[in-house]
Structure 1
Amino acid sequence: MSVLLSVLTVLLTIFFMECLSWFIHKYLFHGPLWFMHKSHHEQSKSFFEWNDLFAILFAGISLFLMFIDGKNFGIKFFIGVGITTYGIIYFVVHDWFVHRRFKTFKSNNSYLQAVRKAHKIHHKNMGKRNGKAFGLLFVRKKVIQ
């Protein structure tokens, strides 16, 4: 597999994972999987939440893809790399910056602050309903103003 095709596969997988994550969050996490996801909307008593099992699931999928195609470095391997890269980006932005699971990542960047504020608005609703819309439109409006 060429380097260009490998990089393109990773980038497309990251984009696909963002779209898939939005869909899963809106229709599954705030739907039939609410029993697990609600731990993310509640005041946590411990560092780990039931919601963290979703990260473990996706990590397992990416490791499986990389393992079965690791000798060939084919498309499955680079899809696994893309899923892993998305997971790292998600962890740093969502868990580390937005939710401050670690207190070390702070930024005065206006876009990042708007993302954090939009996510806090999403979390104001502690229930299953009306928590579906995260609203990147809100983020874009706040940054432009």
Structure 2
Amino acid sequence: MGGAMQTLAAILIVLGTVLAMEFVAWSSHKYIMHGFGWGWHRDHHEPHEGFLEKNDLYAIVGAALSILMFALGSPMIMGADAWWPGTWIGLGVLFYGVIYTLVHDGLVHQRWFRWVPKRGYAKRLVQAHKLHHATIGKEGGVSFGFVFARDPAVLKQELRAQREAGIAVLREAVDG
């Protein structure tokens, strides 16, 4: 593969990995964090003391995945068995982690900075994630993704239907 094609392939792998990580994050959040991994995730949904949460351990898991991919792609570590895409997948996972940290921890939960968006997609992200936190406990819920947010009006309808079906217990009214 020529230099320009190799560069293009690397860029596409990084971008594809960032996009794929939203699906990985969504499914991990829905089926692991709100499933058998609830013990680490619970304090993210409940009032707690201190700056750090057990939930932050999931960031270490993501970092370990990125480091593993960098290692698999490294000729210095793997020698002739280095897997070329590994480096670029590792970079995509790293970029997603940075986006997650800025969007979820920073914008939505305001752990790093204080800014409440008044309109646009940033407002939609905040609204969608606040609706995710509208349930009590790990059952039910909406908006398990971190970067792509569905229409809050649709999410409110889903929460109402979950409440009526006895699937979710809501922390607060989602009407209005």
Question: How many residues are treated as equivalent by the alignment?
Answer: 141
| Corresponding residue for residue 93 of structure 2 | 83
Which one of the candidate residues 10, 20, 25 is aligned to 1:21? 25
Confirm or deny: 8 A CA contact 2:43 2:54 kept in the other structure.
yes
Structure possessing the higher radius of gyration over alpha carbons: 2
Which one of the candidate residues 131, 143, 146 is aligned to 1:134? 143
| % identical aligned pairs | 35
Mapping for residues 23-62 of structure 1, pairs under 5 Å = 23-62=27-66
Which one of the candidate residues 64, 67, 70 is aligned to 1:66? 70
| RMSD of aligned Cα (Å) | 2.2
- 1:139 deviation in Å? 4.3
Look up the SS of the partner of 1:30 in the other structure: helix
The amino acid across from 1:122 in the alignment is H
- 1:37 deviation in Å? 0.7
Q: Which runs of 5+ in 2 are unaligned?
A: 76-81, 156-176
- 1:138 deviation in Å? 2.0
Stretches (4+) displaced over 6 A: none
**Relative contact order, higher structure (CA 8 A, sep 6+):** 1
